[in-house]
Structure 1
Amino acid sequence: MTYRILRTDKSLQSALRRIALEQIDAGLAEIADPGMDRKALVHNLRKRCKKLRGLIWLVHDGMAEAKAEDHAIRDLARLLAGHRDAAVLSDTHASLGGGAAQASQDALPEGVEDGFHALRTRAAHWKLRGKDTAILAAGLTHVAGRMNAACKQALKDPSPANLHEWRKWAKYHWYHARLMQAAWPHPIRARRAEAQALAEALGDHHDLAVYRDRLHGQSATDRDALDARAARRQKKLERRAFDLGRRFLADSPEDLARRWVAWWKISREG
């Protein structure tokens, strides 16, 4: 299973369907596995939903149902949000010295498995309209542009909401680098690694923000100490994210898209 557009894909549409079905089938196999840890299952299913949304954003300009499918996958992931938030809060609390909690093994929320099955049925027939190169260029430009715009906004106002918005587009850009990596592996892999580091730093920052909000609503003898540790960690993550973000700003989304699409065309001619 490869989350990547390959030279062997006959078209961008065939790559879209193949990648989507691979992610959905892997998720359904995990759901059907009775021995799989519930925390790992929820994490994997949410990750697969994000990968699918990243894939859709790459081909958004040529896919008539892109908005509807993006929203459907978002809603499917939201069914798992409660399980995920509880696990993250527990892990964050433990990492700050607050002690560990026992992992939950509750059943998946109703609708998750059916949602994946319905999604598979639709994904097998997804269609693209327009030239592959134009579709790729539009998707790459849009997401990289949104990432850079969110970075600039966060530099002006590093609020949790602005940093979270930046994280969303940085993660999609990371997924786009993964999807396009076969076009020219070495330079795109480097970009992929930096985008991943940025998305993960912003993700950890968001988890700490959620944790601090929850912490302030509770009475605990060590609350102030835990909050101070969380705040210090957030500042380190902000510095890391801004260092990376400023580097991404040096490359215009249009130039990046033009270069990657040109590499993709060359790779298919070889």
Structure 2
Amino acid sequence: MAYALSRKDRSVQAALRRIATEEIDRALAEIDDPDMPQPEKVHQVRKRAKRLRALIRLVRHAFPGYAAENAAIRDAARGLSALRDSEARVETFDKLMEATHSGGFATIRTYLAAARDHAAENAHSDDDLARFRAELVALRKRVKHWRLTEKGFKALKPGIEKTFGAARRDLRLVHDRASDEDIHDWRKRVKAHWYHTKLLRRLRPKVLKDRAAKARDLGELLGAHHDLAVLRAHIAGAADLPIDADARARFDRLAAARQAELEDEARDLGTRLFSRPAKAIAHRWKGWWRDWRKAVA
């Protein structure tokens, strides 16, 4: 089944257990797939970890085990980040060159690609994936015993409000003073709202599918902004990068200008997505939930 609550779920608790189990099973299948390249495995299972964390965050208010399980999933996935980070820097460089129709920075790309290849050669991805797999197997056993203290929409409402409200507050902060860290924090809230919209999209399929698509687009804009911030910091601190100060400065200005463009796009889209108060959104979704559950009855 999809990453979403279903009318076939007997309760929110049953949906929580089902969706978590399905995500774990898909991650295990990806790890065990002999035909999937290792970098793709790492990328996919890290996404599964994010989806799992967003799932339990939605019911955090009613889930006594939230803190422990969130930490377990986060810590298990953390060991998979090093190889992905070096690959992401190359991908970010290529996207920057494509978006700005620029050239003349071949030395930087060669440097980044060499670092990526070195990381791949020296990575312990097999061991890291094996450890992550063991954590997932243990988590799958615990999922069967997950319990919520609230039923129905009461288990969902605080998570919806908290995530939406945080994204809305971060939008106001970004309008006032947009540091790279502020925008990165906003991105995390936006992505959590995106996942929650996907999880609840069947309440109003057309409306929430469209909202999820916009939240995904906003998350990608903010993700591209963050990737450029990471790349700029990496290049600025790369003492062994064989380019002169002028070339380094020109590259940084190019990346900064692209970040500014992404910020403008993100603010416009974010203003449309988060124009209403969090309580109003939760109240509206509660009505949709009531209608959806009546259809089941």
Q: Using the alignment, how far apart are the partners of 1:77 and 1:261 within structure 2?
A: 33
Is the 8 Å Cα contact of residues 222 and 266 (structure 2) preserved in structure 1? yes
Q: Which residue of 2 aligns with 1:156?
A: 176
Q: Using the alignment, how far apart are the partners of 2:65 and 2:184 within structure 1?
A: 26
Q: Which residue of 2 aligns with 1:5?
A: 5
Q: Using the alignment, how far apart are the partners of 2:179 and 2:242 within structure 1?
A: 26
Q: Which residue of 2 aligns with 1:243?
A: 268
Q: Which residue of 2 aligns with 1:145?
A: 165
Query: Partner of 1:20: helix, strand, or coil?
Result: helix
Distance 1:220 1:238, change over 3 A: farther
Q: Which residue of 1 aligns with 2:214?
A: 194
How does 1:187-226 map onto structure 2 within 5 Å? 187-218=207-238, 219-221=241-243, 222-226=247-251
Unmatched runs of 5 consecutive residues or more in structure 1:
none
Stretch of structure 1 that moved more, 160-169 or 128-137: 128-137
Q: What TM-score do you get using the length of structure 2 for normalisation?
A: 0.86
The CA deviation string for residues 76-101 of structure 1, in whole angstroms up to 9 with x for no partner, is 22111112211101211233444473
Q: Using the alignment, how far apart are the partners of 1:7 and 1:35 within structure 2?
A: 35
Query: Partner of 1:3: helix, strand, or coil?
Result: coil
Residue 252 (1) aligns with residue 288 (2): no
Residue 117 (1) aligns with residue 137 (2): yes
Q: Percent of pairs identical after alignment?
A: 39
C-alpha RMSD of matched pairs (Å): 1.7
Q: Using the alignment, how far apart are the partners of 2:287 and 2:150 within structure 1?
A: 17
Residue 175 (1) aligns with residue 200 (2): no
Amino acid at match of 1:116: L
Give the count of matched residue pairs: 270
How does 1:26-45 map onto structure 2 within 5 Å? 26-45=26-45
Q: CA deviation at 1:15?
A: 0.5
Q: Using the alignment, how far apart are the partners of 2:164 and 2:242 within structure 1?
A: 42
Q: Using the alignment, how far apart are the partners of 2:185 and 2:74 within structure 1?
A: 15
The CA deviation string for residues 126-182 of structure 1, in whole angstroms up to 9 with x for no partner, is 111113211111110011011111111222211111111100010000001100000
Q: Which residue of 1 aligns with 2:102?
A: none
Q: Using the alignment, how far apart are the partners of 2:56 and 2:287 within structure 1?
A: 21
Q: Using the alignment, how far apart are the partners of 2:161 and 2:252 within structure 1?
A: 39
Q: Using the alignment, how far apart are the partners of 1:152 and 1:176 within structure 2?
A: 21
Q: Using the alignment, how far apart are the partners of 1:191 and 1:51 within structure 2?
A: 18
Unmatched runs of 5 consecutive residues or more in structure 2:
98-105
The CA deviation string for residues 35-66 of structure 1, in whole angstroms up to 9 with x for no partner, is 21122111111111111111111111110011
How does 1:29-178 map onto structure 2 within 5 Å? 29-97=29-97, 98=106, 99=109, 101=113, 104=120, 106=123, 107-108=125-126, 109=128, 111-178=131-198
Q: CA deviation at 1:220?
A: 3.5
| Structure whose CA Rg is larger | 2
Q: CA deviation at 1:245?
A: 1.7
Q: Using the alignment, how far apart are the partners of 2:190 and 2:237 within structure 1?
A: 30
